[in-house]
Amino acid sequence: AAAQRTIPVTLELGGKSPQVVFADADLNDAAATITRGITQNSGQTCSAGSRVIIEDRAYDSFTADLAKRFRALRIGASDQDLDMGPVVNAVQKERIEGFLALAERDGLPILAQGDLGTNVSADGFYVRPTLIGDVPFDHPLAQQEIFGPVLVAIRMKDEADALRIANSTEYGLVAGIWTGDIGRALRLAHGVKSGQVYINNYGAGGGVELPFGGVKRSGHGREKGFAALHGFGTLKTIAIKHKAA
């Protein structure tokens, strides 16, 4: 519709946002935030941190911590006031379950899943939050937006490897970088192809003052902040040739 009318638009689209975790990070804080970042709104947020890219020497202990947190999650109806509710409809539930079936087909290890609460209707659109380990960076689960509470864990060797994997998808909405080395964090923040980057935190959009939007197939233009106002304005150029009297 915008193309037919030649009008400007801001497109905020999907994401496959990476959370890059180095061994020198505050791993407890990282695990808690990363768990929230993929289970908020049952994983149905464009900015969900759906890939966790972990340094080899921290991979086993960190995924064990994430698995413990995932197993503690309880899923149920909103009036039960548990950790997570249903997904939006049957179509989305089937889509998520299709990705989980793909993981099973390809022998990817399910490290942990949350539990359905008691008295949960079998007809509800409930999906257990799932942590999947040792996912190849180019596997469909690590490339395509699932839009559900599914977190894939990927190993990385070093800073260069982390950047390569983080930038390996067609999306670029949000990224999280977890490290005690601020120099490394800033290098990665500049190198990652993403509209927003969080260092040692993850805001999934942040406050109204922080411009939000993506690159690549995550869209163009920005919402929020003063940068968003540019999308509603028109720039005019006036060029004058002035001759002295």
Residues designated catalytic: 12, 46
Output the DSSP codes for 74-139: EE--GGG--SB---S-HHHHHHHHHHHHHHHHTT--EEEE-EEPTT--TTS-----EEE-S--TTS
CA–CA gap between residue 69 and residue 118 (Å, rounded):
19
Are the beta carbons of 22 and 181 closer than 8 angstroms? Answer: yes
- Distances, alpha carbon 129 to alpha carbons 35, 87, 162, in Å: 10, 11, 25
Judging by DSSP bridges, how do beta strands 74-75 and 115-116 pair with one another?
Answer: parallel
Element (H, E) at 34: helix 27-39
The b-or-e profile of 108-128 (16+ CB within 10 A means b, else e) is: beebbbbbbbeebeeebbbbb
Q: Write down the residue that tokens 């990476």 correspond to.
A: 18
Sign of the CA dihedral with 172 first, then 173, 178, and 181 last: positive
Cβ-based neighbour number of residue 99 at 10 Å: 18
Sign of the CA dihedral with 124 first, then 125, 129, and 133 last: positive
Structure tokens at 38: 């993929």
